[in-house]
Amino acid sequence: MIITKKRDFKELRENIKNYKSFFLIGCSECATLCGTGGEPELKAMKETLEAEGKIVTGGIVAKTGCQVLGTKTELKKNKDEVDKAECILTMSCGAGAQAAVEIFEDKPVFSANDSMFLGNMTRYRMFDERCSLCGNCILDKTGGICPVTACPKGILNGPCGGCKDGHCEVSPDIKCAWVRIYERMKKLDKLQEFCDVTLEAKDWSASQKPRALTAREEKKK
Ligand code: SF4
Ligand code: SF4
């Protein structure tokens, strides 16, 4: 999921100072789980904006805010409320904000959130980054733990010389990614594989931006 946090309201206030009326768009998926774009957050944002003398004409928690066509369809029932708003305030990730930009060609769109990373929810509203979306996965060779992400240096054949008592020299509060990989592979009885495999330098062309993918299969004629 995409991990978001609320932007500093002072910054947002500066962004929107010249506008009076807003339509809010949250997202029922990641932003709801992050507490940045579900029903309670939309309600709180409405109250905050109204306390600032602004008007909230309406709002929806979109099923999947980054899904352009789906969100556009959902918004049809809110046409009047949307028409009355000078601008759109998205409470989702940056992809959701840009879905709104695509949908509303003639209205300014502001994002109420900062998008942080692709993350795992480990406990209620606690998130860890475990994948950097490199486009060329090597988990099959590292016991399922990603050194590209879990090692602050992204070292592919570690640990580095700074590893101390199993902890990372860059972030001593975390365990060294390569110690974790070693321990995991030992547990899986794959230490020989750990010793035999030397990972080659990654082909970063797979993560060159902007990326696009067509995942649908063409119908056979
Ligand atoms: S190797 Fe790449 S795709 Fe696989 S988990 Fe790590 S960053 Fe993600
Ligand atoms: S100590 Fe381990 S996790 Fe930290 S930078 Fe070195 S190899 Fe990476």
pLDDT, one tens digit per residue, over 29-62 is 999 999 999 999 999 999 999 999 999 999 999 9
Average pLDDT over residues 155-179: 97
Ranges for all domains in the chain classified under CATH 3.40.50.2300: 2-117
Which CATH code is given to the segment(s) 2-117? Answer: 3.40.50.2300
Residue 141 Cα to ligand 2 midpoint, Å, equals 17
Axis-axis angle for helices 68-75, 94-103 (nearest 10): 60
Token digits for 7? Answer: 């932007």
> Looking at ligand 2, which residue's alpha carbon is closest to its atom 7?
159
Q: Is the pLDDT confidence value at 219 over 90?
A: no
CB-ligand 2 contact for 159 (6 Å cutoff): yes
Nearest ligand (C-alpha, residue 175): 2
If one residue of 117, 137, 203 were mutated to test the ligand 1 pocket, choosing by the most ligand atoms within 8 A of its CB, it would be: 137
Residue 124 CA to ligand 2 centre (angstroms): 28
Above pLDDT 90, what percent of the chain?
97
CB atoms within 10 A of CB 90: 28
Distance CA 167, CA 112 (A): 36
Structure tokens at 37: 């774009």
CA nearest ligand 2 atom 2, residue: 176
Q: What is the mean pLDDT of residues 138-156?
A: 97
- Can you tell me which residue has the tokens 């998205």? 90
Q: What is the pLDDT of residue 134?
A: 97
Give the ligand at the shortest distance from the Cα of 157: 2
Q: Which atom of ligand 1 is nearest to the CA of 134?
A: 2
**What is the DSSP secondary structure assignment for residue 167, as one 8-state letter?**
B
